[in-house]
Amino acid sequence: MERIASFCVDHTKLDRGMYLSRQDGDVLTWDIRMKKPNHGDYL
């Protein structure tokens, strides 16, 4: 069984910003990061 693509990403290394998470035809799914992971000042 194939792994889901988002499970293959190391989210602890992503900086703040918008990342294209998935594209299904005309539908885009974005991953919006507003804070750097594990660096305090939590929401």
Position 23 pLDDT exceeds 80: yes
pLDDT at 37 over 90: no
Per-residue pLDDT at 1: 79
Model pLDDT, residue 5: 74
CA distance 4 to 25: 17
The pLDDT confidence band at residue 30, using thresholds 50, 70 and 90, is very high
- 41 burial level (CB within 10 Å; 0-12, 13-18, 19+): exposed
What Cα–Cα distance (Å) separates residue 6 from each residue in 2, 11, 31, 43?
A: 12, 9, 10, 23
Q: What is the number of other CB atoms lying within 10 angstroms of the CB of residue 15?
A: 9
Is the overall model pTM greater than 0.95, yes or no?
no
- Where are the chain's structural domains? 8-35
